Amino acid sequence: MQEPQIQTNYNYHDAFAPFFYTKNGNEYRSAGGQPGPKYWQNRADYQLSVSLIDQTNEITGTEILTYTNNSPDKLGFLWMQLDQNLFRQDSRGSAIVPIIGSRNGGHGQVFDAGYKIKSVKVVSGGKGKASETAVKFIINDTRMQVFLPGNLNAGGGQVKLKIEYSFIEPNYGSDRTGYLDTKNGKIYTIAQWYPRMYVYDDVMGWNALPYTGPGEFYLEYGDFDINITAPANHIVVSSGELQNPQEVYTAEQLKRWAAAAKSDQTVMIRTADEVTSKASRPAGRSTLTWHFKLKNARDASWASSAAFMVDAAKMNLPSGRKAMSISAYPVESAGNDAWGRSTEYTKKSIEFNSAKWYEFTYPNATTVAGIVGGMEYPGIVFCGYTAKGRSLWGVNDHEFGHNWFPMIVGSNERLYGWMDEGFNTFINTLSTANFNNGEYKPANPPNMHLIGARFTDPALEPILSPVDGIKERNNGTLLYSKPSAGLVLLREQILGPERFDRAFQTYINRWAFKHPTPDDFFRTMENVSGESLNWFWRSWFQNNWRLDQGVREVKYVDNDPAKGALITIDNLEKMPMPVILEIKTESGKTSRVKLPVEIWMRNNTWTFRYPSTEKIESVTSDPDHVLPDYNEENNVWKK
């Protein structure tokens, strides 16, 4: 029988073409999506000692970096990130901010911005015999190239650098760092506050891209030993675990911390009334040094303020280990409908994701109210101080969801922002549905027809575009919403929750504290689920293809409805997808038919036999609007 001719943009040779993966597996990354037998990554351990001078908003510090070269290559130089240089008036990032402004720029602040690098030295020898040798370095915009006195050996060679530096903190730094004026003092939310190592990997070598704001970060893992000296009336919170609580909290506050560590309900550590009381801070000192340690992390951040209220509660993790949910915020943010619930939100979010995906690895989860709208770091996040209710749940849940992507699964945010923002947005859909039996769950499920029309607009770039090459107005769609919707499609309509969850958990476990690429994710999902998904990756991620499934006609076998119906459907755009049909007969009986995506492997149109015994009243494609079909005009056939 000759296939009927229809007008269609669909080409099954494109959609189901072989060789989606351009590279075979190798000894570093297997064809099955796992780290290979010779997978390696380098390591960066930091000792950081800084002082906050609040009169001038200046941070001065000394960094001792121990860098381990586990690669098979000798390295004659290192690349480091100097992110604060973004806020210089002559930076590349400032040059590309459009006239209408940008979340990612310095917002036209004119101040003495950027790092002042006093010295870079190589430290050699052990205790008592250590020597320091100044080395040449070149600063180019947000990057510093450090030239080593000799090659750093492959396979475990180490070098120790000592860097003395300072910078002035911007008021608003690319929505990632800055300070907020409150009636009881400034709240400093401090990030990108030390020269950080770029990643050297088996994919690109040095990933030393200039930091221009839109893309985020790609970092090595290591241990952190942090000393922060701040005015004595400040409270400091940081990534990691506080090592000297007796020196920086009062005896009463220590009792409250002990109570919070045993409580599922929020316990106040410093109340609103105590914020302005000298008795709430240790007496007799002008400054205090706070000492924190953090293991196996890619970054660290901190916050400091005299204005902080602080509360906390314990978090119960699947292994039986306990951690702490902590919130620090000003009196302006207090209230049971606002930041008074922050610790509860963070606790419930982390407990859910720990049980569902991978256990939270840090001792504390601290949420800080400040000028930053929402930004994530290991064990600490910054959220807008005016957020409340559903909005505060959403930002807490999202920013701490980042502790899975990219804090645990360390993907390259500079190139593949969707692998952290999109994956995180996806897990947020499940944690939100779970929170307090759906307190903030949307009342109605999303209409994927409307979403599909928006997400597959021809004006959009594909998801698999470099982050810095995406128009800023499209970031929300291409980094967050569309990748998340794609994972929902994959979970709910293509693989089913059980197969999807097993594959997704496997991906997280395989790549925890490592550096996956998109191929590693795609290959893992296919190998663990047992499904070839090349057509889906091509449609939703690699290209910006549209879906348009239409119901063309209904005929009857031998023109007799009692002998069954022949229903013809068409695929009219470039994306294939499984088919869901609702069929209603003349008597009012309704049934569903699901057809696999394979019907489109060698066909533009498909006719199948439906075992009717009477005339069909209507056939509706995707009646529940769960597929991203952008054109509803041809979705219903009626008698």
Residue 126 lies in a domain: yes
What is the per-residue pLDDT for 34? 97
Structure tokens at 321: 């280990």
End-to-end CA distance of the chain: 25
* Residue 93 pLDDT level (bands cut at 50, 70, 90): confident
Residue 502 host element (H or E)? helix 497-511
Give me the chain's average pLDDT, please: 95
Tell me how crowded residue 398 is: count the other CB atoms within 10 A of its CB. 22
| Residue 486 lies in domain | 438-541
Q: pTM for this structure?
A: 0.96
**Residues 480 and 582 reside in one and the same domain:** no
Residue ending a domain, among 471, 506, 541, is: 541
**Residues 598 and 460 reside in one and the same domain:** no
Q: Please give the Cα distance from 531 to 330 (Å, whole number).
A: 51
Residues 6+ apart with CB under 8 A from 560: none
By C-alpha distance, which of 363, 55, 85, 60 is closest to 228?
A: 60
| Residues 627 and 493: beta-carbon distance below 8 Å | yes
**Residues 595 and 524 reside in one and the same domain:** no
Residue 483 lies in a domain: yes
Q: Please give the Cα distance from 75 to 323 (Å, whole number).
A: 39
What is the per-residue pLDDT for 235? 98
Residue ending a domain, among 524, 541, 558, is: 541
**Residues 141 and 209 reside in one and the same domain:** yes
Residue 361 lies in a domain: no
Statement: residue 256 has pLDDT above 90: yes
**Residues 471 and 581 reside in one and the same domain:** no
**Residues 65 and 159 reside in one and the same domain:** yes
Structure tokens at 76: 């004659």
What is the per-residue pLDDT for 445? 86
pLDDT in tens, 42-90: 999 999 999 999 999 999 999 999 999 999 999 999 999 999 999 998 9
What is the per-residue pLDDT for 105? 66
Dihedral angle over CA of 240, 245, 248, 254, nearest 10:
120
| Residues 63 and 46: beta-carbon distance below 8 Å | yes
Residues 6+ apart with CB under 8 A from 517: 29, 203, 411, 412, 416
Report, as an integer, the average pLDDT of 612-634: 96
Helices 482-489 + 448-455 axis angle, to 10: 130
> Can you give the CATH number for the domain in which 50 is found?
2.60.40.290
* Residue 100 pLDDT level (bands cut at 50, 70, 90): confident
| Residues 369 and 383: beta-carbon distance below 8 Å | yes
**Residues 522 and 560 reside in one and the same domain:** no
By C-alpha distance, which of 313, 345, 349, 342 is closest to 328?
A: 342
Domain count, the chain: 3
CA distances from 553 to 4, 12, 328, 571, 585 (A): 12, 22, 63, 13, 15
- Residue 56 exposure: Cα atoms within 13 Å on the Cβ side: 11
| Residues 236 and 230: beta-carbon distance below 8 Å | yes
Q: What are phi and psi of 304, to 5 degrees?
A: -150, 135
Q: Please give the Cα distance from 467 to 426 (Å, whole number).
A: 19
Do β-strands 565-571 and 605-610 pair in parallel, antiparallel, or remain unpaired? antiparallel
pLDDT in tens, 314-330: 999 999 999 999 999 99
**Residues 473 and 597 reside in one and the same domain:** no
Statement: residue 96 has pLDDT above 80: yes
**Residues 537 and 553 reside in one and the same domain:** no
**Residue 33: strand, helix, or coil:** coil
**Residues 153 and 85 reside in one and the same domain:** yes
Q: What are phi and psi of 149, to 5 degrees?
A: -65, -20
**Residues 53 and 159 reside in one and the same domain:** yes
Statement: residue 128 has pLDDT above 80: no
Structure tokens at 127: 């205790």
**Residues 533 and 558 reside in one and the same domain:** no
Residue 261 lies in a domain: no
What is the per-residue pLDDT for 469? 86
pLDDT in tens, 438-467: 999 988 889 999 999 999 999 999 999 988
CA distances from 294 to 221, 222, 301, 399, 501 (A): 11, 9, 11, 19, 30
Residue ending a domain, among 188, 220, 252, is: 220
* Residue 4 pLDDT level (bands cut at 50, 70, 90): low
Do β-strands 75-81 and 196-197 pair in parallel, antiparallel, or remain unpaired? antiparallel
Statement: residue 470 has pLDDT above 70: yes
Residue 350 lies in a domain: no
> Can you give the CATH number for the domain in which 606 is found?
2.60.40.10
Range with the poorest average pLDDT among 150-154, 470-474, 490-494, 540-544: 470-474
Number of residues assigned to the chain = 639
Statement: residue 2 has pLDDT above 50: no
By C-alpha distance, which of 292, 87, 255, 295 is closest to 171?
A: 87
Residue 186 lies in a domain: yes
Q: What are phi and psi of 468, to 5 degrees?
A: -70, -10
Structure tokens at 536: 């889906």
Residue 411 lies in a domain: no
Residue 463 lies in a domain: yes
Structure tokens at 362: 């840090």
What is the per-residue pLDDT for 106? 59
